[in-house]
Amino acid sequence: MSTHHHPLKQPVYDPQTSFIYDDGLWAIIDQSANPSIEQVRAVLEKARQCQGLTLEETAVLLQNTHPELDEELFAVAREIKDTIYGNRIVLFAPLYVSNHCANSCSYCGFNADNHQLKRKTLNTDELRREVEILQDMGHKRILAVYGEHPRNSVKAIVDSINTMYDVKHGDGGEIRRINVNCAPMSVEDFRVLKSAAIGTYQCFQETYHKATYEKVHLKGKKKGFNYRLYAMHRAMEAGIDDVGIGVLFGLYDHRFELLAMLAHVQELEQNCGVGPHTISFPRIEPAHGSELSERPPYEVNDDCFKRIVAITRLAVPYTGLIMSTRESAAMRKELLELGVSQISAGSSTAPGGYQQAQEQQYDIEQFSLGDHRPMDEIIYELVTDSHSVPSFCTGCYRKGRTGDHFIGLAKQQFIGKFCQPNALITFREYLNDYASERTREAGNALIERELSRMSPARARNVRTCLAKTDGGERDIYL
């Protein structure tokens, strides 16, 4: 499938020591206290070159106390997003395969001490049904999520991935990329996971502050801070060159977390030869069976969250940013402009949740709109409100444009060459196969507008692919 060379360096690391130095990070934060307007503006100006920021420069933005500069920060974030990513937005659906979990993370409803939770690991039939429902919505990308439990061994995970790839429902239904969010494993197991043709391996550190980490992880394998901290080193050692990291905001000081996460990015770039493909931004949401989640110790409000996303966009302009499933529609819209490049649509966070939602679709009491708006509605809103092009593209990963190869391409701004055309082609496929009448009309108008902005040669090329798609061919990509 992949034609590219192996881009990874074999990482050299000592899992007994940490590359997160609390004192060093705090010193950087303290040294940038109360920056002047000129200092902040100088960092913003540098960020506009799309070369990223150092930890020190990032700290200046984090420590900014001049509210009037927020708008300037947001403007630079929008500019970078627009230059590098354009108006594409990649869509995916999370699929919770299992909520069995032997750990006890005090912020999570799946924690082993939550005896009220109904535990469920989807069997093959149930899993197939979930995937069919997602395919009928038009999804091509799935994020598969698993608790950490003996039931969710690497073999079970790989079996479930094979099942998901196997489902082909209706006309043109198929899953073309499965990203995986599961507990970190040994290098050996990561090799097995890689063999299942996964897209991105995702694992969030939750908090980079060791003392806090140890306070909130009460039992099970996840207790070990360093074991998790080096998860991506092991994944890369096993040849998984496409990894996603993240912080669970609300556990500790967001300034520390963001700098530490950037230190993690730098560590992976230097030691493994490739930085993370994506960064995710979950914020603690109230979860049944978790007291901490009701009152997060360092709650991040909407304004602060917007700054976090914008500053990350400036600091690592080429890394994909993923927005959590649970953000409201209004927040999604703002964060999209500020730099988020992937969002989930039509999401459920319970194993079997899509099937359940279908069964309950006439029971208004139990089915709240908002986050659970059907995919078509979200797409209609993306197209008409923010003129975004929803993309179902999975081309890069299947052409072997991953790891340092992908980042190299992005850096050369080849996104216009592959991503924008592929977004339009896969969007057309969605419009033909799954969209409502009004979404199809609005979507096709947007496609025409995008074509008129391309060079004539490229537009001609894309039109040929669109015509083939209209003729019933599927899965065309450059």
How many beta carbons lie within 10 A of that of residue 15, not counting itself? Answer: 12
Outline where DSSP puts E strands in 286-421: 320-323, 342-344, 389-391
Minimum Å gap between C-beta 265 and ligand SAM is 18
Which residue type sits at 367?
Answer: F
User: Of 110 and 256, which has the nearer Cβ to ligand SAM?
Assistant: 110
Q: Is position 235 an interface residue for ligand SAM (rule: CB under 6 A)? A: no
Q: Is position 178 an interface residue for ligand SAM (rule: CB under 6 A)? A: no
Which of ligand SF4, ligand SAM, none does residue 344 bind (CB under 5 to 8 Å by kind)? none
Among 44, 240, 248, 466, binds ligand SAM (CB under 6 A): 248
Which of ligand SF4, ligand SAM, none does residue 182 bind (CB under 5 to 8 Å by kind)? ligand SAM
Instruction: Report angle CA 473, 475, 477 to the nearest 5 degrees.
Output: 110
For 235, what's the count of Cα atoms within 13 Å in the CB-facing half-sphere? 30
Minimum Å gap between C-beta 292 and ligand SAM is 8
Q: Is position 225 an interface residue for ligand SF4 (rule: CB under 6 A)? A: no
Gap between the Cα atoms of 404 and 274, Å rounded: 5
Minimum Å gap between C-beta 309 and ligand SF4 is 22
Q: Is position 190 an interface residue for ligand SAM (rule: CB under 6 A)? A: no
Write out the two tokens for 402: 């991953």
Q: Which of these segments, 51-59, 64-72, 89-97, 108-116, binds ligand SF4 (CB under 6 A)?
A: 108-116
Among 47, 90, 97, 108, binds ligand SAM (CB under 6 A): 108
User: Of 299 and 473, which has the nearer Cβ to ligand SAM?
Assistant: 299
Q: Is position 145 an interface residue for ligand SAM (rule: CB under 6 A)? A: yes
Gap between the Cα atoms of 71 and 67, Å rounded: 8
Q: Please give the full DSSP string across 346-363, using - where no structure is assigned.
A: S---STTHHHHHHHTTT-
Among 62, 105, 157, 431, binds ligand SF4 (CB under 6 A): 105
Q: Is position 103 an interface residue for ligand SF4 (rule: CB under 6 A)? A: yes
Which of ligand SAM, ligand SF4, none does residue 111 bind (CB under 5 to 8 Å by kind)? ligand SF4
Q: Is position 110 an interface residue for ligand SF4 (rule: CB under 6 A)? A: yes
- CA distances for 402 relative to 50, 140, 399, angstroms: 20, 18, 8
Q: Is position 148 an interface residue for ligand SAM (rule: CB under 6 A)? A: yes
Residue 413 — left, alpha, or beta (φ > 0 → left; ψ -120 to 50 → alpha)? Answer: left
Residue nearest to ligand SAM (CB): 108
Gap between the Cα atoms of 83 and 411, Å rounded: 11
Q: Which of residues 377-396 bind ligand SAM (CB under 6 A)?
A: none
Gap between the Cα atoms of 89 and 320, Å rounded: 10
Among 158, 203, 345, 357, binds ligand SAM (CB under 6 A): 203
Among 108, 193, 231, 382, binds ligand SF4 (CB under 6 A): 108
Instruction: Report angle CA 252, 232, 420 to the nearest 5 degrees.
Output: 95
Three-state DSSP state, 319: coil
Strand partners, 290: 287
Gap between the Cα atoms of 392 and 430, Å rounded: 8
Gap between the Cα atoms of 226 and 282, Å rounded: 21
Q: Which residues bind ligand SAM (CB under 6 A)?
A: 107-108, 110, 145, 147-148, 181-183, 203-204, 206, 248, 282, 284-285, 287, 290, 293
Q: Which residues bind ligand SF4 (CB under 6 A)?
A: 101, 103, 105, 108, 110-111, 147-148, 222
